[in-house]
Amino acid sequence: MQRHQFQLFADYYQFYIQDDDASFGDLADAWNEEAVARLLAVAPHVIGVGTVRNTTVPVTVEIHDARPEIDFAAWEQVNLASLVVGSGRIVVAGCTDYLPDAARLDLAAGTYEVLVCYAGLDSLREDGLEGDDRYHLFFYPGRELPPQVLKSRSDG
């Protein structure tokens, strides 16, 4: 297992994880009402993770050989998506970051399932910029599938 921690500027309330191929990364049509509600937009070779703050947020990315066991009780929301990685690297970036300078992680080419876990979503302070929200992504080899909400913050 590999674990990487980032502080990403979530401008426009989002950050990206995408294949390190410059021809990918277009989520313009993916952020529809359903995607906004689930805090997750998906397009070929890119995942957009929605945030509750429009500022720097903590993000953890873990890479596993198989689907990890996660404690759903530890998270307010859990989404599942897939990401096809053809380049052998992923980019981890805020949506307005200069991509050539963004963080990159080596990841064997293939299809990955990604559990996107959210915590502290209701911790936003009155100023709208401070909070204890955090975002944790678990990557593991898998198959292509449509985005799914496995646990919704409205589930309680």
Span 29-41, pLDDT tens digits: 999 999 999 999 9
Q: pLDDT band at 22, cuts 50/70/90? A: low
At 134 the pLDDT is 96
CA 53/CA 127 separation, integer angstroms? 10
In angstroms, the CA 39 to CA 121 distance is 11
Per-residue model confidence as pLDDT tens digits over 36-76: 999 999 999 999 999 999 999 999 999 999 999 999 999 99
Q: Domains in the chain, start-ordered, CATH in brackets?
A: 2-151 (2.60.34.30)
The backbone torsions φ and ψ at residue 88, rounded to the nearest 5 degrees and listed phi first, read 85, 10
Q: What is the pLDDT of residues 71-96, one digit of tens each?
A: 999 999 999 999 999 999 999 999 88
Q: Which two tokens stand for residue 41?
A: 């937009």
What's the order of all strands across the beta sheet hosting 89-94?
40-43, 46-50, 14-19, 89-94, 103-106
